[in-house]
Amino acid sequence: MTSFSPRPRADEIADAIRKRICLQPLDEQAMLLEGTLAVEFGVSRTPVRQALQRLAYEGLIEVRTGVGSISNPIDLTARRMHFAVHCGLLRLVAALPDAPLPLEVKGRLAGLAQHIRQGEAVDKADAFDLFAELNATLSRLIPDTVIADAHLVSGWRVVRWSLAGMGHEEGQPIESLARLCLAAKEKAATGRAALFHLAADLFDIEAATQSA
């Protein structure tokens, strides 16, 4: 019988806090206290501290000695640079030796596409879950662990920008995600390189059409 290890509690806490940060306004800061979070999640401070360390590595929070952790705002002038970095990573992966998409990944992308039918209203919390799933799915396809982690971290900045854009044009980020997932489903046989080229092109379009 195959046994599966439960997901570390610290990862679950990091997921929850990450979502809060990505849903708040780009220029907003929030204090994150270990003791308060430990009570909220019903755990000791150790997994909370581990979660905060991961979020600090991702650039989502700043740990201040003697004060606590504070969620980082995004520099509103850095939007184009953030998208350019993310698209550069996507194209870097596309230039690696190609490989077919695993059946599991094809299924996950098809499942995402089913959740984001055009014309259907999606709130920001649901949009975050969809973007987070896509970000993680693409990262798992990257064979180099350093590039994979860089893509995952860079992706959170793009997610924050995309969710902020929903305040002005609610459908745009979801439409981009839907196009990517549907195209990946239809052209899955073309392999990883085509998927990452397509992702880079769509994020380039999103960067050009959304105002800072």
Please write the tens of the pLDDT for every residue from 48-104.
999 999 999 999 999 887 788 999 999 989 999 999 999 999 999 999 999 988 888
Q: pLDDT category, 210, cuts 50, 70, 90?
A: low
User: Counting Cβ atoms within 10 Å, is residue 69 exposed (0-12), middle (13-18) or buried (19+)?
Assistant: buried
Q: Tokens 């997901």 belong to which residue?
A: 7
Question: Would you state the pLDDT for residue 187?
Answer: 66
Q: Which of 127, 137, 130 is nearest to 166 (CA)?
A: 127
For 9-71, CATH gives 1.10.10.10
Q: Model confidence over 7-63: pLDDT tens digits?
A: 569 999 999 999 999 999 998 889 999 999 999 999 999 999 999 999 999 999 998
DSSP string, 104-166: HHHHHHHHHHHHT-TTS---HHHHHHHHHHHHHHHHHT-SSHHHHHHHHHHHHHHHHHHHHHT
In this prediction the pTM is 0.84
CA distance 97 to 93: 9
Minimal CA–CA distance to 10: which of 57, 58, 39, 45?
A: 45
CA dist., res. 199 & res. 178, Å (int): 11
**CB burial class (10 A; 0-12, 13-18, 19+) of residue 25?**
exposed
